[in-house]
């Protein structure tokens, strides 16, 4: 009887080992063979399982509905390298059977994959500040893991009295925002987030781990400054960390009848921002569920902490529904801000354009916004926002591939039209509605000679083409870098997500 019990125990143990060792999926099994079994999450429907915890941490429900065969959570760049080597050796049974996830904030299935492997970088989430001032201008360097979110990265460097040219919403990932350019409240002085990256640690398509900076792999270094995930998996961003005092700013909201003075003041803030480089402002039109009327929101910020910067004087004469401006750190401001009040909806739909800092454009957008609310009156549980962000000429920098140093001829605005929806039917409806509005607004900009060529990669809809807006020279440069560092097209044809440079004519 004892022997029988022993045999049963051995058989059960063998079954457990076999289940852990073999999944039946070639790509998942290849990762196990590469020694990555301890970092692999297999599908498990038990509540609280690591697999479901990873899936449940995506921002959008559309991304959370996608169930990969397995999820790899690498602990370091070496494990990312082993994964790429193992997966690249497999025959491609179809396009895009691998996904790479940074912060998981995108809604466009850029960071998850069905019937494949998702490489979830969320464990690469530490930020380390180099204590010595190691740059020629006396600034320090912060090394930020590719799975980090901006709130944690900024908060960590603030322990040293430093700041980052970072994102403006707590949960946004460092990787996605920075690889697409990265607008920031600090952009008036420092450009985009990508402009403050001094080195990237990158896993290439052949598994090599390389650094890319101004001295080593300089073409790759430049291509990563706005080129998205076309060239490798970035595992670490080394960014300039500069002395940063508390800023002054925060969210304010006004009633719709204050539209004209608020728009006039906002236009002036943008037009004077080359003189007042610490100033930045976001302007938005908002219809929230349960609100009988749309409201006007604004986020004025002075990164020097000046409570009386002259361009913001107009706000003293505007009645406010509420006012959250305060002296606070960048991290505190970012932590207080989240998409749609922090509510995770089924999905969200967005389109984006850029046009001149011209009141006529905002008025046209207003008319389209009100028309959209009227057309979708029955969908009162959907949050709709039109957001306007600064893009003045002095934001442009050389050294990246955005092309703004040549194409940004006028002080401009980035427009983002978005809807936070609750059902697939609403997603389809607002996708169609916003597509028409985007086309109408762009046509109007062209008709009054107010169109700005550039399209912000992090905001555009998948139907749009941001890379073409970078200019032909930069497009060809990105294609050349892709061929140089990924000659087999691994990141073009095997890895889903983002805009592919190979698709640009």
Q: Is residue 5 part of a domain?
A: no
Residues 309 and 442 reside in one and the same domain: yes
Q: Is residue 18 part of a domain?
A: no
Of 78, 93, 170, residue with least CA distance to 124: 78
Q: Is residue 4 part of a domain?
A: no
Residues 311 and 182 reside in one and the same domain: no
Range of the domain at 70: 26-120
The domain total for the chain is: 3
The two beta strands, 209-212 and 252-254, are unpaired
Q: Is residue 457 part of a domain?
A: no
Residues 68 and 139 reside in one and the same domain: no
β-bridge mates for residue 356, sequence order: 412
Q: What angle do CA 257, 263, 269 make, to 5 degrees?
A: 145
Residues 290 and 360 reside in one and the same domain: yes
Q: Is residue 254 part of a domain?
A: yes
Residues 111 and 139 reside in one and the same domain: no
The domain boundary, picked from 54, 87, 120, lies at 120
The domain boundary, picked from 120, 148, 176, lies at 120
Residues 483 and 413 reside in one and the same domain: no
SS3 222: helix
**How many alpha carbons lie under 13 Å from residue 313 in its C-beta half-sphere?**
4
Would you list the DSSP string of 233-301?
EEEEEEEEEEE---EEE--EEE-GGGHHHHHHHHHHHHHTTTTSTTEEEEEEEEE-TT-SS-EEEEEEE
Residues 252 and 239 reside in one and the same domain: no
Residue 160 sits in a domain whose CATH number is 3.30.465.10
Residues 49 and 87 reside in one and the same domain: yes
Residues 214 and 210: their CA atoms lie apart, in Å, by: 13
Q: Is residue 19 part of a domain?
A: no
Residues 138 and 115 reside in one and the same domain: no
SS3 70: strand
Residues 237 and 253 reside in one and the same domain: no
Q: Is residue 462 part of a domain?
A: no
The domain boundary, picked from 120, 141, 156, lies at 120
Residues 503 and 505: their CA atoms lie apart, in Å, by: 6
Residues 326 and 263: their CA atoms lie apart, in Å, by: 22
For residues 248 and 325, is the Cβ–Cβ distance under 8 A?
Answer: yes
Residues 240 and 98 reside in one and the same domain: no
- SS3 readout for 469-486: HHCHHHHHHHHHHHHHHC
Residues 386 and 285 reside in one and the same domain: yes
For the stretch 437-443, contacts whose Cβ atoms lie closer than 8 Å and that sit 24 or more positions apart, written own/partner, are 437/351, 437/368, 437/372, 438/351, 438/352, 438/353, 438/464, 440/368, 441/353, 441/355, 441/361, 441/364, 441/365, 441/368, 441/415, 441/417, 442/353
For residues 494 and 95, is the Cβ–Cβ distance under 8 A?
Answer: yes
For residues 144 and 162, is the Cβ–Cβ distance under 8 A?
Answer: no
Tens digit of each residue's pLDDT, the chain (505 residues): 444 344 334 333 333 433 457 889 999 999 999 999 999 999 876 777 899 999 988 888 888 889 999 999 999 999 999 999 999 999 876 667 999 999 888 877 789 999 899 999 999 999 999 865 556 677 899 999 999 999 999 999 999 999 999 999 888 999 999 999 999 999 999 999 999 999 999 999 999 999 999 999 999 999 999 999 999 999 999 999 999 999 999 999 999 999 999 999 999 999 999 999 999 999 999 999 988 789 999 999 999 999 999 999 999 999 999 999 999 999 999 888 765 444 555 788 999 999 999 999 999 999 999 999 999 999 999 999 999 999 999 999 999 999 999 999 999 999 999 999 998 899 999 999 999 999 999 999 999 999 999 999 999 999 999 999 999 999 999 999 999 999 999 999 999 888 999 999 8
Residue 43 sits in a domain whose CATH number is 3.30.43.10
Please tell me the pTM assigned to this model.
Answer: 0.92
């Amino acid at each position: 009887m004892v022997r029988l019990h022993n045999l049963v125990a051995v058989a059960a143990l063998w079954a457990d080992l076999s289940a852990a060792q073999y999944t039946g999926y070639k790509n998942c099994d290849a990762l196990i063979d590469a020694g990555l079994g301890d970092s692999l999450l297999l599908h498990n429907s038990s509540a609280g399982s690591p697999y479901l915890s990873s899936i449940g941490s995506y921002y959008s429900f559309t991304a959370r509905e996608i169930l990969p065969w397995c999820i790899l959570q690498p602990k370091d760049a070496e494990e990312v390298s082993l994964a790429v080597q193992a997966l690249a050796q497999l025959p491609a049974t179809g396009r895009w059977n691998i996904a790479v996830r940074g912060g998981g904030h995108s809604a466009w299935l850029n960071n998850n994959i069905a019937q494949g492997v998702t490489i979830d970088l969320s464990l690469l989430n530490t930020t380390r500040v180099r204590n010595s001032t190691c740059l020629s201008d006396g600034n320090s360097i912060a090394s930020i893991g590719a799975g980090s979110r901006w709130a944690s990265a900024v908060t960590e460097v603030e322990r040293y009295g430093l700041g980052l040219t970072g994102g403006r919403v707590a949960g946004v990932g460092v990787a996605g925002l920075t690889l697409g350019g990265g607008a920031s409240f600090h952009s008036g002085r420092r450009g985009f987030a990508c402009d403050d990256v001094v080195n990237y640690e990158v896993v290439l398509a052949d598994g090599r781990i390389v650094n890319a900076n101004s001295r080593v792999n300089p073409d790759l270094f430049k291509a990563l400054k706005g080129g998205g995930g076309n060239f490798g998996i970035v595992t670490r961003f080394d960014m300039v960390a500069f002395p940063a005092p508390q800023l002054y700013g925060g969210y304010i909201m006004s009633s719709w009848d204050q539209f004209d003075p608020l728009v006039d003041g906002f236009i002036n803030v943008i037009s004077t921002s080359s003189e007042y480089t610490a100033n930045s402002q976001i302007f938005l039109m908002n219809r929230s569920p349960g609100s009988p009327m749309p409201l006007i929101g604004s986020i004025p910020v002075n990164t020097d902490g000046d409570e009386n910067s002259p361009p913001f004087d107009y706000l003293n004469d505007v009645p406010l529904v509420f006012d959250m401006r305060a002296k606070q750190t960048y991290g505190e401001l970012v932590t207080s801000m989240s998409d749609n009040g922090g509510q995770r909806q089924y999905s969200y739909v967005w389109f984006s354009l850029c046009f001149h800092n011209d009141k006529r454009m905002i008025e046209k957008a207003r008319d389209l916004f009100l028309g959209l609310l009227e057309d979708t009156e029955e969908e009162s549980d959907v949050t709709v926002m039109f957001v306007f962000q600064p893009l003045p000429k002095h934001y442009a920098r050389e050294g990246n591939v955005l092309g703004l140093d040549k194409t940004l001829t006028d002080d401009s605005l980035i427009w983002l039209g978005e809807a936070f929806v609750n059902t697939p039917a609403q997603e389809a409806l607002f996708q169609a509605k916003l597509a028409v509005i985007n086309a109408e607004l762009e046509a109007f900009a062209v008709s009054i000679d107010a169109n700005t060529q550039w399209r912000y990669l992090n905001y555009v809809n998948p139907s749009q083409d941001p890379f073409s807006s970078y200019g032909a020279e930069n497009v060809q440069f990105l294609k050349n870098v892709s061929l140089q560092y990924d000659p087999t097209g691994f990141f073009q044809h095997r890895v889903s997500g983002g805009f592919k440079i190979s698709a640009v004519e």
